[in-house]
Amino acid sequence: MHRSELIISQDKCNTFAALAGTAVESAPAAGAALALGWHMLYLHETDPWLEPGVDGHPEARPHGVPAQLDKRMWASSQVELFAPIRVGEQLTLLRQPPAVTLKQGASGALAFVNEVTQVRRGDTTLLSETKTLVYRSATRPQRAGGAPAGPVQVPAAVLQKTVNLNEVTLFRYSSVLGVAHRIHYDYPYATAHEGYPGLLIHGPLIIQLLLDLYRPTAAGERPVRYQARGIRPNFLGSALTLNMGFHAEQVVLWASDQDHQPTLLIHVSA
């Protein structure tokens, strides 16, 4: 278990609110509860001393990931918020060693990596996050950003918002997170090297924008959990629509593209 200090700085909140503009509510004030999902601004930073690979991520892979599986993508996150995280707090960050599972898919070998992180105030756990990453071969033939295997069911939308992002927004968000994955800001690399039709919008950014739709309806001090799953990438230059609906006892949030197809799905429950 790796332990480190975590400071919930006002500057990160202000910077994110400024770059997102009217897409989000204003940043929380000092001492206020951090908005749901905004913890990601503080948990993604890459160690600057690690040697970067071609894609901008650290060259070193988690122990157990084969060297030939050199393309890394976020797949899903499960988050439980037990108590508010407040702006200005000095907290403790605990990270478990990554758990690696190797699988053979229809189109090649895959490595799924689960990263479990806890945010604590003393002995009290405020938040727990399990993030799943997938590694695959960058040379594996595929149509980048292709459609999922089957249809994704979503409820009728009761609230929708279309947001317009640009290259500066993606570059600044990478800077706020402290990550350097080139598919988000280096157009020649994303298109010529990785085969995408354009720059990819960050998964965490889409999650934060979606959860902001839910924020006005949420009781900010209560425990809550959500599951987020990537379906297909969103590319800069194409429409990005944020949607909210309801299914049973859950709030369902999803992003959709210019073809009105779901690209990222979140289920929120108390």
How many structural domains is the chain composed of?
1
pLDDT for position 270: 79
Residues whose CB falls within 8 Å of the CB of residue 193, separated by 6 or more in sequence, listed in order = 54
Q: Which residues pair with 33 in a beta bridge?
A: 86
Q: Of 194, 261, 207, 190, whose CA–CA distance to 231 is shortest?
A: 261
Pair 254, 154: CB distance under 8 Å: yes
pLDDT for position 41: 94
Q: Which amino acid is at 213?
A: L
- pTM of the entire structure? 0.91
Q: Which two tokens stand for residue 170?
A: 């993606």
- Cα angle 127, 240, 194 (rounded to 5 degrees) comes to 85
Pair 154, 252: CB distance under 8 Å: yes
From first to last of the 270 residues of the chain, give the pLDDT tens digit: 889 999 999 999 999 988 887 677 678 888 999 989 999 999 976 665 567 778 877 777 888 999 889 888 899 999 999 999 999 999 999 999 999 999 998 778 999 999 999 999 999 999 999 999 999 887 654 444 444 456 789 999 999 999 989 999 999 999 999 888 999 999 999 999 888 999 999 999 999 999 988 876 554 567 899 999 999 999 999 889 999 999 988 999 999 999 999 999 999 997
CATH (domain of 94): 3.10.129.10
Q: Of 87, 65, 68, 36, whose CA–CA distance to 209 is shortest?
A: 36
Pair 41, 13: CB distance under 8 Å: yes
pLDDT for position 139: 66
Write down the residue that tokens 């997102």 correspond to: 20
Identify the three-state secondary structure at position 162. Answer: strand
What's the CA gap between 96 and 117, in Å, rounded?
A: 7
Pair 71, 136: CB distance under 8 Å: yes
Question: What range defines the domain where residue 114 resides?
Answer: 2-269
